[in-house]
Amino acid sequence: MKGKAGKLYIGQKKAIKIAKERGTPLFLYSKTQILLNFYNLLELFRINTPLEIRICYAMKANPNQSILRILREAGAWIDAVSPGELAEALRNRFPSNKILYTGTSVSQEDLRSVFSKNGLIVNIDAEEQLELMKEVREKWFKNKKIKVSVRWNPGIGRGFNPKVVTAGKKSPDGTPVKFGIEEKQVISVFTKALKYGFIPLGLHQHLGSGWVKEDFEAVKNAVDKMIRKALEIQKKGYNLEFLDFGGGFGPKYSEKQKVFPLKKYAEYICQKIVQSDLKIKAIALEPGKYLVGDAGVLLLRVEYIKKSYGNVFACVNAGTFNTAPRPAIYTQAQHHILNCSNLYTKEKAKITIAGNLCETGDLFGKEILMSIPKRGDILALLCAGAYCRSMASNFNLREIPKEIII
Ligand SMILES: Cc1ncc(COP(=O)(O)O)c(C=O)c1O
């Protein structure tokens, strides 16, 4: 993506031309960017360790079929969270032994569906879930070899919004955190899993989503805790094949954001593992945002400029909830927005980008200093590759936009 003569180019093509040919609203994804992200992440770890690196794509970020194909061909694994995602991953020819299943509030039906597949790894999110797993295995899958890992809650969570902090006792706004197994239960869950006939292979944590630079110290502490816990498990005589550090790191969403130091994170994890006595074979990661976030843009057309009580609105032809709900749901979610038709003007103003849904919160961006758009201009919501289309709905019976990949 680049600017040339005041116009935004995506690949070799003008964004406004694509918008004209394919219509708006429209999601545009870049294959090149997805692959760059994938190989960059792989390389950051590979240069620091000979261990196998499993990049498990958190497909909840965007289950678009072309994206799944690109990542499968590149060698990615999958992080699936529901029977629907699992089925979609298999339909897109991910081998089941490259799938990690991480459910929450897991039902008997979910488990029957998951256990009917061979070779995948099922994450245990609660001791109570393990009891349910035992029941389901005994009833329908007697003696079946089922690989499992334990998702623990290391007591440290980080995320850009309290709703996506997934570890610790409570998230910063006091919300009780529902994920993972408490530290003191971890060993007993391993012991029980073995006793029930499962094959425990790994330890997993996911602290939250959308880390920034200042999260690094806390994340490092959580890495230390994970390694200490893994050593304790190993000392008890359980073989650990892999440690899964989850996702959480991602691209730069807004100009002000200080990005999380991914290179240092990779170095830190690898160094700590080398210095320890751990006998693991692989390191797993579960990036969603990192792989696809900055590989997508959402093109929107300005219908008119509305001025009211001193507010200036660019009213566009889509809503947040039916295209990119993040800015409406999470207060801190800011996506950079560009006027593709006119990137640079001396005259800038504070513009609020308003969607076409009946809700005051239906805003793609609030009072953004940008080139003043005019009717018919095309705006690009950047970093729209992750958790946009996958979280979209038909609210107000509006259609979900088409997606194309270039
Ligand atoms: C268990 C788990 N792994 C990975 C992810 C991906 O997170 P991110 O997109 O921030 O990398 C999530 C996101 O919700 C998750 O819950």
For residue 338, the SS3 value is strand
Q: Report residue 246 CA to chain centroid gap.
A: 10
Longest Cα separation, the chain: 71
Query: CATH class for domain 2-29+293-405?
Result: mainly beta
Spell out which residues line ligand 1, taking CB within 6 angstroms. 58, 61, 79, 102, 166, 206, 209-210, 246-248, 250, 286-290, 386
CA atoms within 13 A on the CB side of 315: 11
Cα(249) to centroid(ligand 1), Å: 9
State the architecture of 63-287 in CATH terms: Alpha-Beta Barrel (3.20)
Domains 2-29+293-405 and 63-287 share a fold: no
Give the phi and the psi of residue 348 in degrees, each rounded to 5. Answer: -125, 155
Cα(357) to centroid(ligand 1), Å: 28
Q: List the catalytic residue out of 56, 340, 358, 383.
A: 358
Cα(21) to centroid(ligand 1), Å: 35
Q: What is the token pair recorded at 157?
A: 């969570």
Q: How far apart (Å, rounded) are the C-alpha atoms in residues 67 and 78? A: 12
Per-residue pLDDT of the chain (406 residues), as tens digits, is: 777 777 788 877 888 999 999 999 999 999 999 999 999 999 999 999 999 999 999 999 999 999 999 999 999 999 999 999 999 999 999 999 999 999 999 999 999 999 999 999 999 999 999 999 999 999 999 999 999 999 999 999 999 899 999 999 999 999 999 999 999 999 999 999 999 999 999 999 999 999 999 999 999 999 999 999 999 999 999 999 999 999 999 999 888 889 999 999 999 999 999 999 999 999 999 999 999 999 999 999 999 999 999 999 999 999 999 999 988 888 878 889 999 888 877 788 999 999 999 999 999 999 999 888 999 999 999 999 999 999 999 999 999 999 999 9
Q: How far apart (Å, rounded) are the C-alpha atoms in residues 369 and 348? A: 6
CA 247 to ligand 1: nearest atom: 11
Opening angle at CA 97, ends 93 and 101, nearest 5: 90
Domain ranges of the chain: 2-29+293-405, 63-287
What stretches of 38-96 adopt beta strand conformation (E)?
52-58, 77-80
CA 286 to ligand 1: nearest atom: 4
Cα(372) to centroid(ligand 1), Å: 36
282 in Cβ contact with 241 (< 8 Å): yes
340 is catalytic: no
Contacts of 303 (CB under 8 A, 6+ apart): 315, 316, 317, 356, 375
Separation in Å, CA 126 to CA 35, 183, 326, 379 = 35, 11, 29, 45
